[in-house]
Amino acid sequence: MKKFKYIAAQLLLCGLIFSGCDKYLDVEPKGKQLLKTTNDFDLWLNSVVLTTETDGNNLMNNMTDNLDVLNINTPPTTLGELVYTWAPQFTTDVGSMTYLWGEHYRRISLFNTVLLGIDAAQGGTASQKNSLKAEALLGRAHSYFYLVNEYAKPYNAATAATDLAVPFVTSDDVSKKAPGRSTAAEIYQHIIDDINEAIPNLPEDNSNARFRGSKAAAYSVLARVYLYRREYTEAQRYAELALASTRAIMIDYTNAATFPATTNVVSHPDAIYGRSSAAAGISISAELKSMFAANDARRTVLYTNWASTVRGATLFYAQAVTNVFSFTNSGTTVQEMHLIAAEGAARANNLATALVHLNEVRRNRYTGTPVTSRDFTSTIQDVVLTEVLAERRRELPFHGLRWFDMRRFDMEDRMPVVTRLNAQNGVIATLEPHSSKYTLQIPIQVIAFNPDMIQNP
32 in contact with another protein (CB under 8 A): yes
128 in contact with another protein (CB under 8 A): no
52 in contact with another protein (CB under 8 A): yes
CA-atom Rg of the chain in angstroms: 25
Q: How many residues make contact with another protein (CB under 8 A)? A: 108
40 in contact with another protein (CB under 8 A): yes
Cis peptide upstream of residue 416 (ω within 30 degrees of 0): no
Q: Which span sits near another protein by CB under 8 A: 133-141, 219-227, 236-244, 442-450?
A: 442-450
Asked if 160 contacts 182 with a C-beta cutoff of 8 angstroms, the reply is no
Task: Give min distance, CB of 207 to another protein, in A.
Answer: 11
112 in contact with another protein (CB under 8 A): yes
DSSP string of 78-141?
Answer: SHHHHHHTT-S-S-S-TTS--TTHHHHHHHHHHHHHHHHHGGG-BSS-HHHHHHHHHHHHHHHH
407-412: list long-range contacts, CB under 8 Å, 24+ apart: 407/149, 407/154, 407/228, 407/438, 407/439, 408/154, 408/227, 408/228, 408/230, 410/154, 410/434, 410/438, 411/154, 411/155, 411/156, 411/230, 412/230
287 in contact with another protein (CB under 8 A): no
Asked if 88 contacts 437 with a C-beta cutoff of 8 angstroms, the reply is yes
The residue among 195, 206, 243 whose CA lies nearest residue 45 is 206
Among 182, 220, 246, 326, binds another protein (CB under 8 A): 326
How far is Cα 169 from Cα 140, in angstroms, rounded to an integer? Answer: 10
Strand order in the sheet with 282-283: 282-283, 315-316, 303-304
How far is Cα 216 from Cα 199, in angstroms, rounded to an integer? Answer: 9
Among 56, 123, 200, 281, binds another protein (CB under 8 A): 281
92 in contact with another protein (CB under 8 A): yes
Output 309 or 369, the one with its CB closest to another protein. 309
Among 108, 152, 202, 339, binds another protein (CB under 8 A): 108
DSSP string of 327-369?
Answer: EEE-SEEHHHHHHHHHHHHHHTT-HHHHHHHHHHHHTTTB--S
The residue among 203, 209, 205, 192 whose CA lies nearest residue 137 is 192
44 in contact with another protein (CB under 8 A): yes
Among 145, 146, 188, 211, binds another protein (CB under 8 A): 211
For residue 150, give the 3-state DSSP assignment.
helix
Q: Which span sits near another protein by CB under 8 A: 56-64, 71-79, 152-160, 342-350?
A: 71-79
Among 55, 57, 178, 433, binds another protein (CB under 8 A): 178
How far is Cα 42 from Cα 413, in angstroms, rounded to an integer? Answer: 45
Q: Going residue by residue from 248 to 267, which x/- string records binding to another protein, judged by CB under 8 A?
A: -----------xxxxxx-xx
286 in contact with another protein (CB under 8 A): no
Among 56, 75, 200, 416, binds another protein (CB under 8 A): 75
Q: Which residues in the 337-376 window bind another protein by CB under 8 A?
A: none
The residue among 63, 137, 45, 46 whose CA lies nearest residue 100 is 63
94 in contact with another protein (CB under 8 A): yes
193 in contact with another protein (CB under 8 A): no
169 in contact with another protein (CB under 8 A): yes
330 in contact with another protein (CB under 8 A): no
141 in contact with another protein (CB under 8 A): no
Output 51 or 201, the one with its CB closest to another protein. 51
Distance of CA 423 to the CA centre of its chain: 32
131 in contact with another protein (CB under 8 A): no
208 in contact with another protein (CB under 8 A): yes
Among 59, 82, 136, 199, binds another protein (CB under 8 A): 82
27 in contact with another protein (CB under 8 A): yes
Output 143 or 220, the one with its CB closest to another protein. 143
Output 381 or 435, the one with its CB closest to another protein. 435
174 in contact with another protein (CB under 8 A): yes
397 in contact with another protein (CB under 8 A): no
Q: 62 burial class (0-12, 13-18, 19+ CB within 10 angstroms)?
A: buried
Task: Give min distance, CB of 95 to another protein, in A.
Answer: 4
The residue among 109, 133, 111 whose CA lies nearest residue 121 is 133
Among 56, 159, 161, 176, binds another protein (CB under 8 A): 176
Task: Give min distance, CB of 131 to another protein, in A.
Answer: 17
443 in contact with another protein (CB under 8 A): yes
What's the distance, Cα to Cα, between the start and end of the chain in Å? 83
Among 55, 57, 80, 109, binds another protein (CB under 8 A): 109
29 in contact with another protein (CB under 8 A): yes
Cβ neighbors of 12 (< 8 A, separation 6 or more) are none
